[in-house]
Amino acid sequence: MLKYKDLLGLRNITKEEIDEILETAIPMKDIIKRDIKKVPTLRGKSMATLFFENSTRTKSSFEIAAKYLSADCTNLAVSTSSVQKGETLIDTAKTLEVMGIELFVMRHGASGAPHFLGRNTKARIVNAGDGMNEHPTQGLLDMYTMKDKKGDLSNLTVTILGDVAHSRVARSNIWGLIKYGTKVRVVAPETLIPVELQKMGVEVYTDVDKALKGTDVVNVLRLQKERQSSGLLPSLSEYNKFWGLTEKRLELLNSDAIIMHPGPMNRGVEIMPEVYENPNSVVDEQVTNGVAVRMAILFLMMGGKGSEDIN
């Protein structure tokens, strides 16, 4: 079971808790492969998604995960809700809580918003991305995919390539992986490298070719056009030329290296279409694994007591 009421980030959870989530996701993935993808494990449990920012993968995979476990999932459409009349975050959550919601999956543009809600509601909170802070369930599904494909995380060199400054995915990957002793490299233009990065225990590069050499896993970040303030980058075509993952650059990786991207992709900017289609690309598997990992999280946070309870 997880130690805290809420799952807010990978910075403040233990390696043992991460192990428990990743191990619980293995039997969950078996359920996804079945013809009948439904178990009664969380029957009678109620959760809601509260997304103040757009999402395809995270929101729908939590909804699908809830359905496979027989939990009831309400998706609050924030753009047509009373939030638009000025209702506060706490009042919105409390309204749903008194209707019986036990867990919220929440995405918000402000860093710390899920932490704030967690302190002000009895319901459990799962952070589905808060500003530029963390995206823990993406970090967990990335770690699950790395472990599944490459084995022991402590033996790997993982290179995170791209817009680290704006990336909550990068932060959750780093906080999670350094707990396992993984060698984590980060490579980005100098304008997209946050000052606190060195203190997180990662190797920082500004030369892509040097960073990719000897890499077992390359995790390419989406260039977050919506969060770029003017002047950080000269142009998208230059970004692609100097920082994009091209077929030529794949030659620098270890021969069995895997290629990851959290999505959504800007094809032709941070990743070339043929790189996504490369046999070593696991981008689609990351999405499938996202359902299994989120099933594990819901199971552990909404009443599952042990693996014998899953079926």
Find out whether 287 and 263 touch, Cβ atoms under 8 Å.
yes
Which lies closer to ligand CP via its Cβ, residue 56 or residue 81?
A: 56
Which lies closer to ligand CP via its Cβ, residue 133 or residue 138?
A: 138
Q: How far is the CB of 197 from ligand CP (least distance, A)?
A: 21
| DSSP-based three-state secondary structure for 92 | helix
Which lies closer to ligand CP via its Cβ, residue 58 or residue 121?
A: 58
CA pair distance 53, 110, nearest whole angstrom? 10
Q: How far is the CB of 46 from ligand CP (least distance, A)?
A: 22
Query: Where on the phi/psi map is residue 132: left (φ > 0), alpha (ψ -120 to 50), or beta?
Result: alpha
CA pair distance 96, 94, nearest whole angstrom? 5
Q: How far is the CB of 263 from ligand CP (least distance, A)?
A: 5
Which lies closer to ligand CP via its Cβ, residue 38 or residue 225?
A: 225
Q: How far apart are the first and last CA of the chain?
A: 17
Whether omega for the bond prior to residue 279 falls within 30 degrees of 0, making it cis, is no
Whether omega for the bond prior to residue 27 falls within 30 degrees of 0, making it cis, is no
Q: How far is the CB of 287 from ligand CP (least distance, A)?
A: 9
What backbone phi and psi angles, to 5 degrees, belong to 76?
Answer: -75, 120
Q: How far is the CB of 249 from ligand CP (least distance, A)?
A: 22
C-alpha distances (whole Å) from 22 to each of 142, 148, 266 are 10, 10, 29
Point out which residues bind ligand CP (CB under 6 A). 55-58, 129, 135, 138, 262-264
CA pair distance 65, 266, nearest whole angstrom? 27
E strands present in 23-93: 46-51, 72-76
Which lies closer to ligand CP via its Cβ, residue 190 or residue 226?
A: 226
Q: What is the enclosing helix (H) or strand (E) of 276?
A: helix 273-276
Which lies closer to ligand CP via its Cβ, residue 55 or residue 254?
A: 55
Which lies closer to ligand CP via its Cβ, residue 226 or residue 277?
A: 226
- As beta bridge partners, residue 204 has 186
Which lies closer to ligand CP via its Cβ, residue 39 or residue 295?
A: 295
Q: How far is the CB of 169 from ligand CP (least distance, A)?
A: 7
Q: How far is the CB of 168 from ligand CP (least distance, A)?
A: 9
Find out whether 21 and 36 touch, Cβ atoms under 8 Å.
no
What are 35's two structure tokens?
Answer: 């013809």
Q: How far is the CB of 135 from ligand CP (least distance, A)?
A: 6
